[in-house]
Amino acid sequence: MAKIMTTTAGNIVGDNQNSLSAGSRGPLLMQDYQLLEKLAHQNRERVPERVVHAKGSAAFGTLTINHDISKYTKAKVLQKGEQTRMFLRFSTVAGERGAADAERDVRGFAMKFYTKEGNWDLVGNNTPVFFIRDPQKFPDFIHTQKRHPRTNLRSNTAAWDFWSLSPESLHQVTILMSDRGLPVGYRNINGYGSHTYSLINDKGERTWVKFHFKTKQGIKNYTNAQASEVVGKCRESSQRDLYESIEKGDFPKWDFQIQVMSDEQAKNCPFNPFDLTKVWPHADYPMIDVGVMELNENPANYFAQVEQASFSPSNVVPGISWSPDKMLQARIFSYADAHRYRVGTHYEMLPINKPIVEVNTYHMDGSMNFAEPKSTDAYYEPNSFGGAVEDKSYVEPPFGVNGDGYRYDHREGNDDFSQPRALFMLMSDSQKAQLFSNIADAMDGVPDEIRNRQIALFEQVHIEYANGVRKALGK
């Protein structure tokens, strides 16, 4: 008889698959203690490196806005002619700090913009989608990417077991196992905000948005065989490439573009536009040019700037905000919580994280409070002693919420096959052959039961997909 899952307090868990949300599209409810416990516990599982995205490289640069998108947003950082200093940290996701750069993995693409209205952090990847859509499954997924608790080895079986039981992962798995899963270097990847965010204009009108950064250096990738050779010579191949290109004045650049969707379009969209496993078709939601991002300055001290850099999607500025994306809402909590644990309570006082604007909060004491604030009578709010006050003009417009609070099954009625099928059909014969070969390599040692379960999912994407993997596996 199977054991019954409980919380750390011994309370029985009724649903470990779906977060508690207001309506099937969210937003999430803070009373979902099981979700908060899982996320908070995961943030404290490893010391001191990042739980995920541990191996990273970074550089300073500028974001320059060349096009007028003021009809969508009042954010000063996104107004035509504005140039903003920023910091971009690239990373692998699964590997530890000592892992090799040239490994098949998603690449992190985390940006911090030091704007005139405070810091704006855009924490994304080099893929527009992710493996899961409900944050209840994030700690479970990351466990499959880390080391087995008994062998201390990475486990292909764990990864494919989880993916084969999670059809929503098909889109991201197809990207990861394609040629784009092994980029030559950080200069040769696109970056995506991945989540759906929102833009708010000076009329208080909200528009849903996707952020894209397209590399001007071109997409370049390794085969598995090429990457093995590279790793044998240099484990920091991507970091070396980025650092040396900036040192010699060959500054990498990305075109900054957005997609937008009105609230009416979102309501009538045939899929959930706040689902992190989905892309917005470019034909329906065309790309809009915004500006150019350039990296032009290497960090002066790796630990002080790259290791202590702390990004969180909770950091937004007036005119840029969030959406009912369940994964985004959970990251708003978990990223900042991870930094408080890993770096320290006052992590945003560190030079790399400190905004260029004046900071006025009522936070007190705690570790690393090195600002040496002068004590006043205004140490709470509201007060009668001239302390900082709120400004109602910055309150965001409301967004609609409907539905009963419930743990909605995020897989029920969801099409997890059409978008991976569209991606597969865009691939050339050589790209498909590489996809099949990469999957076969990654399935080394995986039990047939799990392989067959995953192939059955590939078959629902396209019969050619399934047959190609079968052939590559020698079936």
Cα–Cα distance between 311 and 89 in angstroms, integer?
9
The pLDDT of residue 46 is 61
The whole-angstrom separation of Cα 43 and Cα 341 is 8
pLDDT in the model for residue 44: 77
Of residues 303 and 452, the one with the higher pLDDT is: 452
Phi, psi values for residue 10, rounded to 5°:
85, 5
Contacts of 117 (CB under 8 A, 6+ apart): 75, 76, 77, 317, 318, 357
Amino acid (one-letter) located at 160:
W
**Is a pLDDT exceeding 80 seen at residue 352?**
yes
Question: What is the predicted pLDDT for the residue at 468?
Answer: 98
Q: What is the mean pLDDT of residues 232-240?
A: 96
Is residue 242 scored above 90 in pLDDT?
A: yes
Is 368's pLDDT higher than 80?
no
Work out the pLDDT band at 385, boundaries 50, 70, 90.
Answer: very high
- Domain ranges for the chain, please list them: 20-166+181-357
Mean pLDDT, rounded, for 86-113: 95
- Residue 149 banded pLDDT, cuts 50, 70, 90: very high
Where is mean pLDDT largest: 200-204, 344-348, 363-367? 200-204
Task: Return the minimum-mean-pLDDT range out of 2-6, 247-251, 315-319, 460-464.
Answer: 2-6
Give the bridge partners for 107, in sequence order: 92
Reported as a pLDDT band with limits 50, 70 and 90, residue 433 is very high
pLDDT at 321: 95
Confidence class for position 12, pLDDT limits 50, 70, 90: confident
Name the band, by pLDDT with cuts 50, 70 and 90, for residue 235.
very high
Residue with tokens 């496993």: 277
Asked if the model's pLDDT at residue 383 lies above 60, the reply is: yes
How far is 48 from 436, CA to CA, in rounded Å?
A: 37
For the domain made up of 20-166+181-357, the CATH class stated in words is: mainly beta
Residue 291 confidence class, pLDDT cut points 50, 70, 90: very high
Residue-averaged pLDDT of the chain: 94
- How many other C-beta atoms lie within 10 A of the C-beta of residue 390? 9
Residue 173: predicted pLDDT: 98
Task: Give percent of the chain above pLDDT 90.
Answer: 80
Which helix (H) or strand (E) segment holds residue 57: the answer is strand 56-65
- Averaged pLDDT, 232-242: 96
Q: Which residue has the higher pLDDT, 174 or 96?
A: 174
Residue 372: per-residue pLDDT: 78
Would you list the DSSP string of 301-330?
-IIIIIIS----TT---TTEE--S-HHHHH
440: closest CA among 123, 247, 224?
Answer: 224
Question: Does residue 390 carry a pLDDT above 90?
Answer: no
What are the φ/ψ torsions at residue 165 (nearest 5 degrees)?
-100, 5
pLDDT at 230: 96
- pLDDT for residue 160: 98
The residues assigned a catalytic role are: 53, 125
Average pLDDT over residues 379-389: 89
| Confidence (pLDDT) at 375 | 86
User: pTM of the prediction?
Assistant: 0.92
Q: In the chain, what percentage of residues exceed pLDDT 70?
A: 99
**How far apart (Å, rounded) are the C-alpha atoms in residues 78 and 330?**
26
